[in-house]
Structure 1
Amino acid sequence: MTKAEMIQRTRAFALRVVHLVDPLPTESTGTIRGRLFWRCGTSVAANYRAACRAKSKADFINKLKIVEEECDESIYWMELIVAAKLVLKTKLGPLTSEAPELLSIVVAAIRTTRANRKS
């Protein structure tokens, strides 16, 4: 997958998160969890884009580690939102499969970059 394709994919993920969070209940529980999910879900795209502008391989790896953390946190918030019955799991749709896929891609990119840096 090219950087441009990954930028598009993470952006699409962020947009799906935004559209999911908007209709969440407005009581404090829904608002707080929604904001946290919105923050980390959109951060996946923003930080991947920043990683693409890294000044060195070490900088690239560090920025990808942030993407990894934010993606993992997005998965956590999706699980919590479903467990709290704020959203049905079926309503999450492709987000439930996309987040782990993005996480796997990012982890593989980190490993590959580290291996290439050592050789």
Structure 2
Amino acid sequence: MNQKDILKEKSFSFAIKAVALYKYLQEEKREFIISKQFLRSGTSVGANIREAKNAQSPKDFVHKLHIAQKECDESLYWLELMSATNYIGLQEYEKVACEASEILRIIKSSILTVKQKMK
């Protein structure tokens, strides 16, 4: 399995976790603002990775991955905020943030690899 497929699978798994966490925060914590922001950024990561897979050029591929990178980093911000405000516990934060951080590292690595090949 190549790095693009791993990234596709991991980002889809992350999106599923984002939806589940959103539902939990809505139903159990009655939190509607931060959870919606997290849902949007968390599901956008995989959507942009999918778009990158169908890029028209290496430059377009890198551009789409940059967007995914920004969305992934934003997701980490919302997770940190939810943890700091006690909407989620430390264990839940660490589990989801670890996954987001891993996806972020893979995205950055993919961007660097493609940029080096473009030179």
AA matched with 2:77 = Y
Aligned pair count?
115
- Is 1:117 aligned to residue 118 of structure 2? yes
Measure how far apart 1:21 and its partner are.
1.4
User: Structure 1 regions of 5+ residues with no counterpart?
Assistant: none
RMSD: 1.1
Moved beyond 4 Å, runs of 4+: none
Q: Is the 8 A contact 2:58 2:118 kept in 1?
A: yes
Measure how far apart 1:93 and its partner are.
5.0
Counterpart residue number, 2:65: 64
What are the within-5 Å matches in structure 2 for residues 27-38 of structure 1? 30-38=31-39
SS state at 1:107 partner: helix
User: What is the TM-score when the length of structure 1 is the normalising length?
Assistant: 0.91
What are the within-5 Å matches in structure 2 for residues 95-106 of structure 1? 95-106=96-107
Q: In percent, how many aligned pairs have the same letter?
A: 37
Q: Is the 8 A contact 1:17 1:41 kept in 2?
A: yes
What are the within-5 Å matches in structure 2 for residues 24-103 of structure 1? 24=25, 25-26=29-30, 30-92=31-93, 94-103=95-104
The separation in 1 between residues aligned to 2:108 and 2:13, in whole angstroms, is 19
User: What is the TM-score when the length of structure 2 is the normalising length?
Assistant: 0.91
AA matched with 1:76 = Y
User: Structure 2 regions of 5+ residues with no counterpart?
Assistant: none
Q: Is the 8 A contact 1:20 1:92 kept in 2?
A: no
